Amino acid sequence: MESYRNNFRVFLAFFTPSFGWLLLFFIAPLVIIFLYSFGETVSLTEVETTWTLQNYARLFEPEIVTLFWRSLALAGLSTIVCLVMGYPIALVIATAPAHWKPWLLLIVILPFWTNLLIRTYALLNILGTQGRVNNLLEWLWTQADGFFSLIGLGAYNIMGEDFEPIVFLGRWSGVIIGLVYVHLPFTVLPIYAALERLDRSFLEASLDLGASQWRTFRSVLVPLTMAGIVTAAIITFIPMLGSYLTPALLGRGQVDMIANVIERQFKGANDWPFGAAMSLFLLYVTFIILAIQAFASMRRKGGMSRG
């Protein structure tokens, strides 16, 4: 590739608009939020930067620490579920016939064509106490009760009393289902890319040497695609950690994540400095995760080069 110094004016013509956009709409707002995090609210719409650390000290209050741990736990559990579900899906797509792969990938990315708000409201219809899932479970309950009565076991009350709907909304289970539904494609695609680049002769050699399919999967396939798994985990976990709409609608105010409380600081509580401190703390956590991943990747590549 030709050096930018050879055609500096052309490079500047393409670079300036992009950098200006980044400076105006990314760096400048981030600097403002950074200054707010060291400030105090002096009026309804005015924040004075006093360089106080009080806003960051409030992050260690018990309820805020509990909120952060809950957000980490929800994002972590949802990421694990995405990996467990996403890896088989990616494996099926990678091993499918060539003419089926575009259609299977289309199914995976199809939810992106619909607005997130609409998809979340659809989940409300599915997971509600009168939703599709509970309607199906109630129908199955009724059919099972009728079957036991038909064969003469109804007198023993095997199915118990009337069907009790399962409550998903306002519970961890509902939020996790929503997070997995929204972010599952982010898990499938990196793993699929890693599987596509895989040299399948390693799998054939493992099977030829007498290893079972499970041993081959565990000892050969997973280690060779670990880079894709790590990438999928990171780009799934980080957006989950900052999710707002899914816990707001499916959590019903009972299962808040950090983004929901940040929103309340800026709107309801009118405490912009504390909201800014919470936002930047979330950004710091994201940077730490990315730095750990980059450091681990460098060590892995260094070990491979020495080997």
Are 181 and 119 spatial neighbours (Cβ–Cβ below 8 Å)? yes
Please report the pLDDT score of residue 106 as a whole number.
Answer: 93
Cα–Cα nearest to 236, from 76, 73, 68, 79:
79
Please report the pLDDT score of residue 267 as a whole number.
Answer: 87
Please report the pLDDT score of residue 156 as a whole number.
Answer: 45
Are 274 and 263 spatial neighbours (Cβ–Cβ below 8 Å)? no
Are 306 and 66 spatial neighbours (Cβ–Cβ below 8 Å)? no
List the pLDDT tens digit at each of the 307 positions of the chain.
Answer: 556 666 777 778 888 899 999 999 999 999 999 999 999 988 877 889 899 999 999 999 999 999 999 999 999 999 999 999 999 999 999 999 999 999 999 999 998 888 899 999 999 999 988 889 988 988 887 777 666 565 655 544 545 567 788 899 999 999 999 999 999 999 999 999 999 999 889 888 998 888 888 999 999 999 999 989 999 999 999 999 999 999 999 998 899 999 999 999 988 888 999 999 999 998 888 888 888 888 877 777 665 555 5
Beta strands in 3-85 (DSSP E): 39-41, 47-49
Residue pLDDT, tens place only, 61-97: 999 999 999 999 999 999 999 999 999 999 999 999 9
Beta strands in the chain (DSSP E): 39-41, 47-49
Backbone dihedral region of 129: left (phi > 0), alpha (psi from -120 to 50 degrees) or beta? alpha
Global confidence as pTM? 0.87
Are 247 and 71 spatial neighbours (Cβ–Cβ below 8 Å)? no
Could you please state the CATH topology (level 3) that the domain comprising 61-128+167-306 is classified under.
MetI-like fold (1.10.3720)
Domain boundaries, the chain: 61-128+167-306
Backbone angles phi, psi at 66, to 5 degrees: -60, -40
